[in-house]
Amino acid sequence: MKKQFLSTLQQELSRLDTVGISKRRERVIEKFTDDPSPQAVIQKKARRIFNSNDYLGLRFHPALKKAEHEASEKYGVGPGAVRFISGSLEIYHELEHEIAKFHNREDAMVISSAFAANVAVIPCFIKGQSKDSLVSENALVVSDELNHRSIIEGVRAASIDSFHKAIFKHMDAEDLRRVLKENEGKFTRVVVVTDGIFSMLGEYQDIKKLRAVCDAFEQKYEEGIVLIVDDAHGVGCFGKTGRGVEEVCGARADILVGTLGKAFGVDGGYIVGDTIAIDYLREAAATYIYSNPISPGAAGAGVAAFELMQRAEGKKLLAQSQHNIAFFKSLMKKEKFQFSADSHHPIQPLFVGDSIIAKSLAQALFDEGFLVTNINYPVVPKGRDEIRIQISAIHTEEDIRIFVETLKKLRKTIKF
């Protein structure tokens, strides 16, 4: 690389450092401690984990580790090639069967990550993926204004102009109605896409309301409306049986995107829907066709995770998760902290406001032996910085009590 360009890159890195938003100096976890609740050892000190998406603690579960090991023994540690080239391992089909059954859908498709799912799946419904495709380009995509980056990238990957794109106000079904009304007669089909759980605040899209609006306009567009919901943070941990926002809202998406990499404790993404839609995605989704699937070990662990979630142990973990969230909220309320009273999801934001204060609070918590994430602008609006706290089913009451006690102590020196 020419020195001049490297120098530009160095200046960009310095700029990110100066504005305080660089991410590359990741904390290195040396190992995890054992029971009762695993802690991350960083710089030789054990730290309680309050910033993980592993909401049920399944990544440490012996049944998942065993299944991962057995699958690696049977199939090797890597897939060898993409699925259509050198054969599709039986374990992927087992996993897809389990996922489809869990979400009560005709079919499921596993892909390397939920991010990869959005990047490929969204364009597939917006327009045909080859010159000869019979899928028309005459579609409008409508997105919640605060959707996850992977959805934004999915829309970008479709390479459509602004005429074919619209946004609706965050979690505002009436604004979606406005968009659908304004565009009647202009498009053959509409693709509505949203996060299920929004990961900054733990709030959720009421997809029953979205569904009702979509259904009301279905006949106004020749090919109707496709509702895509990415419930990466909801599947496995939200709702009585962990079916996510669909369960909580009592409504279904046409295409549901999920991940194995959060509540299910493993790694990889998935899509569920009708057989024809999934068959089409297997023919058209670039990150499925031209990129390796998850490892056989991850698929084996995934099967074990879905099986576990459908046994009494899964129900117990979900009940424990809800208990821990309620326990945390009761302590926070008692101490009058500014937190989200609405979220019953493991994501529990503590509102701090000022970015310098949020940063120093996250650092002070780290020094005291806790891992949390401070979320700052531009991810949240200016002046609305927060500490994102994530409660796990495998936290003990002691973990949660000590955490809130520490916040109380820090309040004396850091004003939040």
Ligand X SMILES: Cc1ncc(COP(=O)(O)O)c(C=O)c1O
For 121, the token pair is 């799946």
Any idea which residue has 């009592």 for tokens? 250
Tell me: does residue 115 bind ligand X (CB under 6 A). Answer: yes
Strand partners, 47: 40
CB of 376: closest distance to ligand X in angstroms? 16
Number of Cβ atoms within 10 Å of the Cβ of 126: 28
For 194, the token pair is 């949203």
Is 14 a residue of the active site? no
CB of 115: closest distance to ligand X in angstroms? 3
Number of Cβ atoms within 10 Å of the Cβ of 175: 18
Any idea which residue has 């605040």 for tokens? 201
Any idea which residue has 């690389």 for tokens? 1
Tell me: does residue 244 bind ligand X (CB under 6 A). Answer: no
Q: What is the largest CA-CA distance in the chain?
A: 66
111, 113, 118, 124: CA torsion to nearest 10: -20
Tell me: does residue 148 bind ligand X (CB under 6 A). Answer: yes
When the beta carbons of 109 and 114 are compared against ligand X, the nearer one is 114
How many residues touch ligand X under the rule CB under 6 A: the total is 13
- Which residue in 317, 258, 297 sits closest to 108, CA to CA? 258
* DSSP per residue, 141-191: EEEETT--HHHHHHHHHT---GGGEEEE-TT-HHHHHHHHHHTTTT-SEEE
Strand partners, 386: 351, 375
Is 52 a residue of the active site? no
Tell me: does residue 269 bind ligand X (CB under 6 A). Answer: yes
Stretch that binds ligand X, among 97-105, 206-214, 225-233, 277-285 (CB under 6 A): 225-233
Stretch that binds ligand X, among 111-119, 239-247, 291-299, 397-405 (CB under 6 A): 111-119
Number of Cβ atoms within 10 Å of the Cβ of 331: 18
Options 103, 148, 164, 262, the catalytic residue: 262
Q: Considering only residues 52, 143, 150, 183, which one is a binding residue for ligand X as defined by CB under 6 A?
A: 150
Is 329 a residue of the active site? no
Q: Tell me the C-alpha distance between 308 and 302, whole Å.
A: 10
Stretch that binds ligand X, among 20-28, 155-163, 171-179, 230-238 (CB under 6 A): 230-238
Strands 373-375 and 203-204: what pairing? unpaired
Stretch that binds ligand X, among 109-117, 323-331, 352-360, 393-401 (CB under 6 A): 109-117
CB of 232: closest distance to ligand X in angstroms? 4
Q: Considering only residues 129, 199, 343, 348, which one is a binding residue for ligand X as defined by CB under 6 A?
A: 199
Q: Considering only residues 68, 96, 98, 195, which one is a binding residue for ligand X as defined by CB under 6 A?
A: 195
Question: What part of residues 289-318 is at the interface with ligand X (CB under 6 A)?
Answer: none
Strand partners, 375: 386
When the beta carbons of 232 and 317 are compared against ligand X, the nearer one is 232
Kindly list the residues in this chain that would bind ligand X in the complex (CB under 6 A).
113-115, 148, 150, 195, 199, 230, 232-233, 259, 261, 269
